[in-house]
Chain A
Amino acid sequence: MIDLALSQNKEIFVLNLGPQHPATHGVLRVKLLMDGEYIVSAEPVLGYIHRMHEKMGENRTWAQFMPNTGRLDYLGALSYNHGYARVVERAAGIEVPERAEYLRVITVELNRIASHLLWFGAFVLDLGGFTPLLYAFDDREMILDLLESVTGARLTFCYFRFGGVYNDIDDNFVPGTRAFIKRLRKRMPEYHNLVTKNIIIIKRLRDVGPISAGMCRRYGATGPVARGSGINYDVRKNEPYSVYPEFDFDIPVYEDGDSMARYMVRMDEIEQSMRIVEQALDRLPDGPVMAEKVPKIIKPKPGDYYSVVEAARGTFGVRVVSDGTNTPYRLKLRSPTFSNLSLYGEAARGMLLADALALMGSLDLVIPEIDR
């Protein structure tokens, strides 16, 4: 197709965006066919950071794969821990104590806030504004400090275990989290004043990069991308898991489908996640954080198991096939940004280069998760 286009119009040229490019935030390569500054076609090329996570899963025990899940999407590692822990718990029939579920929800939502904050900064960086990134990092560091004091790590937390969580929270966690939420509540209006209401941002995002609900469905886009196109789908509400049904929170949905809508969905989700964390802290029950009688070596009954969670970037699904041994027979990860990126080729057609990069930023790509 590229050869054909090139032979027909001598003005068209190929622009390799990446694998090393400031806007791809990783080793993603997008092969762009350009007519001046307009994109004739865009084709994402993957494989530069493929690490065979799914195959690795088949070669190690169930528990040993847990650290890998945090390395898919290193910005929202806990959601991926959660997804994998849930599918193995389902397979092995392990019940999780209530306190552990609450801790899971609290940490996952904090992690979601951290992920969205980093996305917010990186997105504005894509649009050429550097300063909001550092402000967002300032807030994100607070979350990482909180999570580090509980999990022991700042990025690849590996906090969840089959049947609960690795260890209980310390005394500082609850007051620290409350203080952080109070602080972030004050900072959010500032972010909105500095970025959301800025006329340059509005001009760059509104009506730019429209993605229709139909396109989302065709490519299987989920998460904020789909919710920005008017699809009211969030696993936390539609297929409730863990203790999410007990909390009162909304799923932000915007109908426009443009970059602004996706931006607003994520900014609103930060607010909603804060609500969930507050409610969970209020109702945090006492009790064990680890199920009793979890076997040291897990051997689920033979069968085919699937579980989905709502990660920061969309629906994360894990399918495992067990043959009754201590390693998975097959492990399949359904990562959200892979689908979200798939629609890029169609959505970016005919756009200006600058707008196409704004569109790419609004998809919130984490390349190691796409390439697994």
Chain B
Amino acid sequence: MTFKAKTLFKAGIASLLLSTAAIAQDDTIKVGVLHSLSGTMAISETTLKDVMLMLIDEQNKKGGINGKMLEAVVVDPASDWPLFAEKARELIEANGVDVVFGCWTSVSRKSVLPVFEELNSILFYPVQYEGEESQKNVFYTGAAPNQQAIPAVDYLMAEEGVERWVLAGTDYVYPRTTNKILEAYLIGKGVAPEDIMINYTPFGHSDWQTIVSDIKTFGSAGKKTAVVSTINGDANVPFYKELGNQGVSAEDIPVVAFSVGEEELAGLDTTPLVGHLAAWNYFMSVDTPENAEFIEKWQTFIGSEERVTNDPMEAHYIGFNMWVKAVEAAGTTDADAVIDALPGIEVPNLTGGTSIMLPNHHITKPVLVGEIQDDGQFDVVWETDGLVEGDAWSDFLPESAVLTSDWVELKCGNYNTETKTCGGASN
């Protein structure tokens, strides 16, 4: 009872603050953009900031939402994880934004979670991540592991007959959790533990000689071998260069990557990479009218025919349209009303389907496996039959298999189906 009263009180204060801020600021709806524009992550996140500006600009051309214009508030958390929390607080408290689109790395997301919970605001997170999380104030428009990693491994097992696996990743929370899930999944599928090699490298690792040579040795045990790569950021470029130089071709040992998209390939001579794979929920090469329109708008907005589109950009496109629809439906930008309105909202995605916001704050997405072509684009070689529902808690880890997330019926992000209790306040 007291708990409920407290939340209500908090929400009341928050909405009061928000509404006063909104009145003070000329009656526009403020949209926060929390992406690094400097530091290591700038390479990936700057594009997402630009996409948000484009989407907001476009919505304003259509007359805004409910008669109010949108106004973007851009801050630069400079790839500095604690600064993300500070900047999030600044956006919500000082600038009075109604929603924030932002973050890339999981560690930056973890850093802002308490802020969004405390100030009861909304965050749209556009990047594929490790799952094992569902928070009331966060909407995950990127892929959960069952929407990227698991189907990709299925493809390699079924189509390429892979029996031996190298799980290579950068040393932080996303690769470690994803690899834990994948290892459990593979062992469940009957892969022997000695047929799995796990390897971690630091951020920005550039000397891949030893690891590539280890992969070659591991691959010479008489079984078809593949590398599942959760290597993040620019460490990928020297990794693929070394693969090419040491003569590891995709026909011998294919590499399927979860963090390499069109944007990463733009800084790379792709000839030695042809045939290596990536699993995403969107590729720029997907041939649909929606996608063609999106690409044209993007290239006009950014003023260059050279610029590519990628998966997290599509996630922002979906997330932003979902938020617009929810605000229209709720008739207000009040956080609680919008959070309640979001589950069940349907918007078209760019691959020809319709994505739905699920009660666990994840969305439905198709899963595509593409091969790198020599023009830096991906050619889709396999896709799931329909859309896959994002699963917040992996079924392949014993500790999370019993958990489920439902913010509509159960009002809980980590409901334990065995003990029939909600596990805790958040996460």
Note whether A and B form a binding pair.
Answer: no
